[in-house]
Amino acid sequence: MAPLSGFTDLAYRRTAYRCGCRYAFTEMVDAASLAYANGNGEVLLKRGDDEKFLAVQLVGADETLLTKAALKLNERDFSLLDFNLGCPVPKVVKKGAGAALGQNIDHALRCFEAISKVSKFPLTAKMRILDENDPEPTLKLCAGLAALGAKALTVHGRTREHFYTGEVKFSIIREVQAHFPDIPVIANGGVNSPETYRQMRERSSCSRVMLAQGIMGNPWLFRELAAGSPPPTLEQWRETVFFHVSEMIALYGEASAMRQARKIVHDYLKGRGFPAALRAEASTLTVLDDLKRLLDRAEPVQTSGTIRKILN
């Protein structure tokens, strides 16, 4: 499961594990905020006693701050540290970080090297392809990261400009895997169903696949891909939504958790044939009893045994 900013906290990850997720990341953590102990770092970095594997993802473009942040992370327990070179959102790229840093190869490699000099964790990197037609820029970045000791490379098959839509360029990912056969190349982008998963595996020749937006409101996709399991029944859907929000309450307290849970419940409702009134009700959740009432009344228009996510 990809590091999804604003989503993949401990409650989100625990829900995903129950649905077949094997490996998960914290949300993206800003180096400056971590270096100066600003923001909500404690919640972002919280690892559950039941998490056998947890990677932390760091974002930033200042070598000094990245060094300080990596040293702070050394005080904690993670399975690996991933460096973000792919986030395309404006608040990240305007600081020269994320996908903007990925396009500045020399600076990106200096930043990665700064982290590698002090981090006690194995290092990986997540990036976007740098050119849709020419694999060379992407290969140059990957070669530099590999030379600096990257243990795996996650490649989102779209450029920064395309954000999360548009065609995934499988051929570029395939070139990366071919040039670095000894490094796991994890493909990312556009996988939201068994069909798109098979397409990614076959056309990119990747080692592994990272799921992102495809599992938002649909954590069962992990088990569907790994074991051929069917989509959830209505009762399984209800139980999982309740578990997820209950875990959020344990993490944040009821008042804060229920405000944050509105977008989470929206994702669970989206594309499953539930009436619009129910989706509107999700925007007003205040206490756990509100969720209980919503779940009790939740009946999709379709009547089959499972409630498959319908993709737009």
Contact 186, 210 (CB under 8 A): yes
Active site includes 142? no
E-strand stretches of the chain: 25-30, 55-59, 80-85, 123-128, 153-156, 185-188, 208-210
- 5: its two tokens: 């900013």
Determine which one of 19, 21, 87, 142 is catalytic: 87
Q: Round to whole Å and give the CA distance between 44 and 28.
A: 8
Contact 73, 119 (CB under 8 A): yes
> Which residues are within 8 A (CB) of 145 and not within 5 positions of it... i.e. 6 or more apart?
109, 112, 125, 153
Residue 207 in 3-state DSSP?
Answer: coil
According to DSSP, the β-strands at 25-30 and 55-59 are: parallel
Q: Round to whole Å and give the CA distance between 183 and 178.
A: 10
One-letter-per-residue 3-state SS of 24-76 = CEEEEEEHHHHHCCCCCHHHHHCCCCCCCCCEEEEECCCHHHHHHHHHHHCCC
* DSSP code, position 254: H
List, by residue number, the catalytic residues.
87
